[in-house]
């Protein structure tokens, strides 16, 4: 008996749930968790089903061919809990990176970190928790961005990474690279978007005198800090907090927001809905 | 075209979702929202479906007879948004009562307040927002509790109230009355249960020196403050807060927690799962 | 024995606390609560002291003359808990207004509502809790804005209102009127600023696909939604929330954020620090 | 110019603030942050002052001798930011330990970890971030508790540790050892006290069906999970969360709650007030 996770997206039409549930039942599938969402604005339908079955993913996928055709399903199906290959990028601040690696180490994140790329030398980091994970020091300047991104792309292709996580990686990806990574690159921006986009958001927040700061995990797109939002959280701050206090308080929010977003993505809980996300969280 | 809300509970068996979704589709039902939950501990299955259909509730219910029998479904089906009859009880503090009445007035709560019962005179309250809702002043002492509860019961029976809300009604219901009200009486307890049960929870909290206070909405059972929890929320407090400050801060938490719980109950979003609740919230 | 609240602002210099505390002690003052803040960026110093003394406010103020001169203190001193005159403005949505009036009624807010001004007729509101408070229906169009604001100004002057609260009053005040009201007009904007300024912020939030919505209470200035922020709070939302759901969830955030801000202002807990506020909350 | 942190506690009497502030000013002290609290119930006064001065701690302390005598001050004064010696204890789950060590490594926590004591072998842990910090494997059974605690005590005495942190150290300290550690031993209990004391609190929470879980950092006393609370925080949970989900979600709350409590203690922001704490946080 194996556990599977299936997701599907399609234009909404009558009878999808009945058809899909019926097909799963017919294949001996036993649903353990199911979520669905109808977007009345776009007419799109989204579903995520966790189920147990005696068979294998390929057989199940084949068994759903008719529904895929009939409803035009954009379907994914994989074994639940399978570790997925992830490339992590970092700059000078490694709190998010260390947090993701620790969660992976204790088995909380179903991630196989294929490599870590940093634009600073490894010695600049505070972590030692990298074990056998290859670290690539790929410095970058305005002039060398294209080559550096090509090098990152080679690592992704050679490693088979399915997901790229910008774990406080502070370089702005080019439009082309962002497009190539569409839907599979998560960034943590250290503000509560849409406020304080761009550089030094904590300093922007301090100047504005907001009474809460936050962090936002989102998919990277060509527009800086504009991509579909996956997860956000906040903490209260006061007039007494200096920019350094905001940076300090912000680290904790960034860590948990990025970790939730990455976990949800790896568990197929996040479905793209144009400029937004549908998140079947737990 | 009408919108309906259906809930069901049963021992979990393979094929329920397929059967129910299939039956709804066959009756021309168009699902707009669906939630389900499998309790692995008890083997119970819970579902809530919002759907549109051209037919009426009676026809739909009849159409599900086969599934009801086949799976042993504990099923409810009603027209979405229908106002449901509610009896409200209050003592001296009317912030929760006023909040529920205001939400009803603006159409946010699908509630038809059939009466308000208070153990203090109407003049003792701060609200004037009662409009045409009958107010019954039913004082009570240790000696008169049985009669007073019988009077409350008569109001419930005569009015057809489906739900009783203890909106900071401070009298403890007898075991018999609690049992009679099982599953249809919501209380707001002004602490974060299971901490600080019983009397003067804010004073208990102040003595303990907790750094957050909360409120809990729960179904009333024979055991004081032990019933299935529906909703909880908290606010931070500090050493500087006196018991009066906790009471003041607590009012806001009580209002929103009770309002959410009542709204969820009226929208059939809360299903009883022995000593706990399944809440299909939005 | 009376209780007093004193606030002071000045350029920061050595010895202020010692001098002021010393002077209060010399006048028989017994400090019950004290907060201070040094803004290293602007070099400004802020203080709020609650204290008991046998004397009266005038005597106390005179007794502080030397410190006022010596340090250039911008000082306020009043009897604690004194009810202060407030003018409330509202448009169609009266949840914030009703909440402020209820808190006043039960003695939680030290407010004397001198009048309510609405740009819609009284009958358009859901509240009946206005009691004897005069309601002025002052409709406004683009063409009549100047006159209407002049009428509001007359009400302020005649009533002696110290504070104006825009309780979901949806008209944008002119630059001149905003300037005239500088430091004494609080608005509740139904978004988590600086995101989603201007009109229909919940619809903007829905489009952006944020995972939390919020509300911001701030002092009104000439720039729309740019004034010094007093209080903010948020609630999580999901892909399943329609714009109407955001409006509904937002009501609760707006109510508690505006109520906190107004309470803090009335208790002299908010001091202006250029474009920001210092909030000595409890 | 050095920065100092001074705290004081005493029975409340008129003139303390004036006297202390005056004395600091006389010694050339420049206050940068100050908090005070009057406990009306116990008549105790608490104060924390951060200030800059050209002199040294010993001179400052001597200079306050008169005030110490006059008011019966329980006074502490130390150089701000000085790293303080801390002994960390851990069992099998090292998420809190790793988090504290990372924060120390990046300079966020002013801690000098003198040793780590675990009742499991070092190899059982997931961390490698221990660097040069000595790890003592001190297993314990019911029979060997006294000796094991004596061994821990020796490490404390030899290392000069000022603070002991039970970072998910799951052994219950004996009454004697708890008493010896009074006021200098912080534990993280993985529930929102006073709910769910003792063993397996997440499983207790799951059984009760609460809708939020939390963690509590508190000083250890003879009574299990009864000591003065320093910090608490919560996260929402739902019917869908299994006990393992609660454990997972709880890890994040435990980490941030313990880290805040330890940081506050090391910065002299926590003052004991009998069974409670006064926390002058930032």
Q: Give the Cα separation of A269 and A271 in Å (integer).
A: 7
Backbone angles phi, psi at D232, to 5 degrees: -145, 155
Task: Please tell me if residue D31 touches chain C, with a CB cutoff of 8 Å.
Answer: yes
Question: What ipTM was estimated for this complex?
Answer: 0.95
- Closest chain C C-alpha to B184 CA, distance in angstroms: 25
Minimum CA–CA partner of D279 in chain B: B239
- Closest chain D C-alpha to B67 CA, distance in angstroms: 25
Interface test with A, best of B23, B31, B50 (most A CBs within 10 A): B31
Q: Of D105, D126, D248, which is closest to A102 when you measure between CB atoms? A: D126
- Closest chain C C-alpha to A223 CA, distance in angstroms: 13
Percentage of chain B modeled with pLDDT above 90: 89
Interface test with D, best of A99, A125, A247, A266 (most D CBs within 10 A): A99
Q: Give the Cα separation of C118 and C96 in Å (integer).
A: 13
Q: Give the Cα separation of B116 and B152 in Å (integer).
A: 10
Nearest to C275 by CA among C201, C210, C212, C225: C225
Task: Please tell me if residue A45 touches chain C, with a CB cutoff of 8 Å.
Answer: no
Of C225, C241, C268, C275, which residue is the catalytic one?
C225
Q: Give the Cα separation of D282 and D276 in Å (integer).
A: 19
Percentage of chain A modeled with pLDDT above 90: 90
Higher-scoring residue by pLDDT: A18, C141: C141
Higher-scoring residue by pLDDT: D240, A132: D240
Token pair recorded at residue C19: 């001098």
If DSSP codes are grouped into helix, strand and coil, which group holds residue D119?
coil
If DSSP codes are grouped into helix, strand and coil, which group holds residue B181?
coil
Contact C210 A231 (CB under 8 A): no
Minimum CA–CA partner of C48 in chain D: D35
Interface test with D, best of C3, C14, C18 (most D CBs within 10 A): C18
**pLDDT at residue number B129:** 61
Minimum CA–CA partner of C39 in chain D: D32
- CATH, domain range C84-279: 3.40.50.170
Task: Please tell me if residue B233 touches chain C, with a CB cutoff of 8 Å.
Answer: no
Token pair recorded at residue A234: 């906040």
The tens digit of pLDDT for each residue in B19-75 reads: 999 999 899 999 999 999 999 999 999 999 999 999 999 999 999 999 999 999 999
C-chain residues near A214 (CB < 8 A) = 212
If DSSP codes are grouped into helix, strand and coil, which group holds residue B265?
helix
Q: Secondary structure of chain C in the HEC alphabet?
A: CEEEEEEEEEECCCCHHHHHHHHHHHCCCEEEEEEEEEECCCCEEEEEEEEEECCCHHHHHHHCHHHHHHHCCEEEEEECCCCEEEEEEECCCCHHHHHHHHHHHCCCCCEEEEEEEECCCHHHCCCCCCCCCCEEECCCCCCCHHHHHHHHHHHHHHHCCCEEEECCCCCCCCHHHHHHCCCCEEEEECCCCCCCCCCCHHHHHHHHCCCEEEEEEEECCCCCCCCCEEEEEEEECCCCCCHHHHHHHHHHHHHHHHHHHHHHHHCCCEEEECCEEEECCC
Beta bridge partners of A271: A278
Q: Of D17, D22, D35, which is closest to C31 when you measure between CB atoms? A: D17
B212-219 β-sheet, strand order: B135-137, B111-118, B84-90, B163-166, B185-189, B212-219, B229-236
Q: Of A40, A208, A275, which is closest to C194 when you measure between CB atoms? A: A208
Q: What is the pLDDT along chain C (282 residues), one digit of tens a residue?
A: 999 999 999 998 888 888 999 999 899 999 999 999 999 999 999 999 999 999 999 999 999 999 999 999 999 999 999 999 999 999 999 999 999 999 999 999 999 999 999 999 999 998 866 678 999 999 999 999 999 999 999 999 999 999 999 999 999 999 999 999 999 999 999 999 999 999 999 999 999 999 999 999 999 998 878 899 999 999 999 999 999 999 999 999 999 999 999 999 999 999 999 999 999 998
Q: Give the Cα separation of A236 and C227 in Å (integer).
A: 19
User: Which residues 6+ apart lie within 8 Å of A79 measured at CB?
Assistant: A2, A3, A4, A5, A57
The tens digit of pLDDT for each residue in A44-71 reads: 999 999 999 999 999 999 999 999 999 9
User: In angstroms, what CA-CA distances link B133 with A218, B96, B122, B128, B265?
Assistant: 50, 16, 12, 11, 21
| Inter-residue contact D246 to D237 (CB < 8 Å) | yes
Q: Give the Cα separation of A89 and A152 in Å (integer).
A: 9
Contact C252 B256 (CB under 8 A): yes
Q: What is the mean pLDDT of chain A?
A: 95
- Closest chain D C-alpha to A208 CA, distance in angstroms: 19
**pLDDT at residue number C129:** 61
Token pair recorded at residue A176: 């082309």
Beta bridge partners of B276: B273
Beta bridge partners of C75: C8
Nearest to B61 by CA among B81, B45, B82, B79: B79
The tens digit of pLDDT for each residue in A265-275 reads: 999 999 999 99
- Closest chain D C-alpha to C40 CA, distance in angstroms: 9
C-chain residues near A192 (CB < 8 A) = 192, 195, 212
Q: Of D15, D25, D36, which is closest to C14 when you measure between CB atoms? A: D25
Nearest to C185 by CA among C198, C176, C195: C176
**Longest alpha-carbon distance in chain B:** 62
Minimum CA–CA partner of B30 in chain A: A14
Domain ranges of chain D: 2-79, 84-279
Q: Of D40, D239, D277, which is closest to B276 when you measure between CB atoms? A: D239
Minimum CA–CA partner of B237 in chain C: C282
Long-range contacts of A133-141 (CB under 8 A, 24+ apart): A133/A101, A140/A171
**pLDDT at residue number A13:** 80
Neighbours of chain A (3+ CB pairs under 8 A): B, C, D
| Inter-residue contact D42 to D12 (CB < 8 Å) | no
Mean pLDDT of A189-201: 96
Higher-scoring residue by pLDDT: A200, D16: A200
* Cβ atoms < 10 Å from Cβ of C168: 22
Contact B32 A15 (CB under 8 A): no
The tens digit of pLDDT for each residue in A20-52 reads: 999 998 999 999 999 999 999 999 999 999 999
Helix (H) or strand (E) holding B47: strand B44-53
| Inter-residue contact A72 to A11 (CB < 8 Å) | yes
Task: Please tell me if residue C34 touches chain D, with a CB cutoff of 8 Å.
Answer: yes
Q: Give the Cα separation of B281 and C179 in Å (integer).
A: 45
Long-range contacts of B42-46 (CB under 8 A, 24+ apart): B42/B273, B42/B274, B43/B11, B43/B12, B44/B9, B44/B10, B44/B11, B44/B12, B44/B273, B45/B8, B45/B9, B45/B10, B45/B11, B45/B12, B45/B13, B45/B16, B46/B7, B46/B8, B46/B9, B46/B271, B46/B273, B46/B278, B46/B280
The tens digit of pLDDT for each residue in A149-162 reads: 999 999 999 999 99
Q: Which residues of B are catalytic?
A: 225
Q: Where are the beta strands (DSSP E) in B64-132?
A: 74-79, 84-90, 111-118
Task: Please tell me if residue C31 touches chain D, with a CB cutoff of 8 Å.
Answer: yes
Q: How many helices (H) and strands (E) does chain D have?
A: 8, 13
Task: Please tell me if residue D196 touches chain B, with a CB cutoff of 8 Å.
Answer: yes
Contact A105 D126 (CB under 8 A): yes
User: Which residues 6+ apart lie within 8 Å of A162 measured at CB?
Assistant: A84, A85, A86, A184
Backbone angles phi, psi at D149, to 5 degrees: -65, -35
Q: Give the Cα separation of C7 and C60 in Å (integer).
A: 13
Q: Give the Cα separation of C198 and A120 in Å (integer).
A: 42
Q: Of A212, A229, A231, which is closest to C234 when you measure between CB atoms? A: A212
**Is A74 part of the annotated catalytic residue set?**
no
Residue A79 burial (10 A CB sphere; 0-12, 13-18, 19+): exposed
> At residue B131, does pLDDT exceed 80?
no
User: In angstroms, what CA-CA distances link C35 with A216, B248, D17?
Assistant: 33, 21, 12
Please say whether the dihedral angle defined by the alpha carbons of residues C159, C164, C165 and C171, taken in this order, is positive or negative. Answer: positive
* Cβ atoms < 10 Å from Cβ of C134: 12
User: Which residues 6+ apart lie within 8 Å of A233 measured at CB?
Assistant: A214, A215, A253, A256, A257, C212
Q: Give the Cα separation of B247 and B244 in Å (integer).
A: 5
Nearest to A129 by CA among B264, C71, D102, D165: D102
| Least confident among A76-90, B10-24, D168-182 | B10-24
The CATH number corresponding to C2-79 among 3.90.1150.10, 3.30.450.20, 3.30.70.260, 3.40.50.1000 equals 3.30.70.260
> At residue D276, does pLDDT exceed 70?
yes
**Confidence band for A223, pLDDT divided at 50, 70 and 90:** confident
Write the DSSP symbol of residue D173.
P
| Least confident among C122-136, D55-69, D241-255 | C122-136
Q: Give the Cα separation of B164 and C124 in Å (integer).
A: 31
Q: Of B40, B233, B239, which is closest to D37 when you measure between CB atoms? A: B239
Q: Give the Cα separation of B207 and C239 in Å (integer).
A: 42
**Confidence band for D232, pLDDT divided at 50, 70 and 90:** very high
A7-16, D46-55, D218-227, range with greatest mean pLDDT: D46-55
User: In angstroms, what CA-CA distances link C155 with C86, C135, C136?
Assistant: 11, 11, 9
A-chain residues near D250 (CB < 8 A) = none
Tokens 């299994």 correspond to D242
| Inter-residue contact A75 to A5 (CB < 8 Å) | no
Write the DSSP symbol of residue D199.
S
Minimum CA–CA partner of A218 in chain C: C210
Contact A232 C212 (CB under 8 A): yes
D-chain residues near B230 (CB < 8 A) = 211
Token pair recorded at residue A237: 């701050």
Task: Please tell me if residue C239 touches chain B, with a CB cutoff of 8 Å.
Answer: no
Percentage of chain D modeled with pLDDT above 90: 90
Residue A199 φ/ψ region, left for φ over 0, alpha for ψ in the -120 to 50 degree band, beta for the rest: beta
**pLDDT at residue number C128:** 67
Mean pLDDT of A208-230: 94
**pLDDT at residue number D128:** 67
């Amino acid at each position: 008996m194996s556990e599977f996770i299936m997701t599907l997206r399609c234009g909404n039409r009558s009878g999808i749930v009945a058809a899909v549930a019926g097909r799963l039942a017919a294949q001996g599938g036993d649903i353990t968790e199911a979520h669905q969402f109808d977007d009345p604005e776009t007419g799109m339908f989204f579903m995520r089903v966790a189920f147990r079955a005696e068979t294998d993913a390929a057989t199940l996928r084949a068994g759903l061919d008719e529904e895929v055709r009939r409803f035009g399903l954009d379907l994914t199906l994989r074994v639940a809990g399978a570790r997925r290959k992830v490339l992590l990028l970092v700059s000078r601040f490694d709190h998010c990176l260390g947090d993701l690696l620790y969660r992976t180490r204790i088995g909380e994140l179903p991630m196989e970190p294929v490599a870590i790329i940093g634009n600073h030398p490894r010695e600049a980091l505070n972590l030692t928790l990298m074990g056998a994970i290859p670290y690539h020091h790929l410095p970058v300047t305005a002039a060398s961005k294209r080559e550096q991104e090509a090098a990152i792309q080679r690592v992704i292709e050679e490693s088979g990474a399915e997901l790229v996580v910008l774990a406080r990686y502070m370089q702005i990806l080019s439009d082309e690279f962002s497009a190539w990574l569409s839907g599979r690159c998560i960034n943590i921006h250290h503000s509560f978007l849409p406020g304080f986009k761009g550089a030094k958001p904590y300093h922007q927040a301090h100047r504005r005198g907001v009474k809460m700061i936050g962090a936002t995990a989102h998919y990277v797109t060509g527009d800086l800090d504009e991509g579909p939002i996956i997860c956000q959280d906040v903490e209260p701050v006061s007039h007494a907090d200096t920019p350094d206090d905001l940076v300090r308080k912000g680290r904790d929010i960034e860590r948990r927001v990025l970790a939730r977003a990455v976990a949800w993505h790896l568990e197929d809980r996040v479905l793209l809905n144009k400029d937004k996300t549908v998140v079947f969280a737990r």
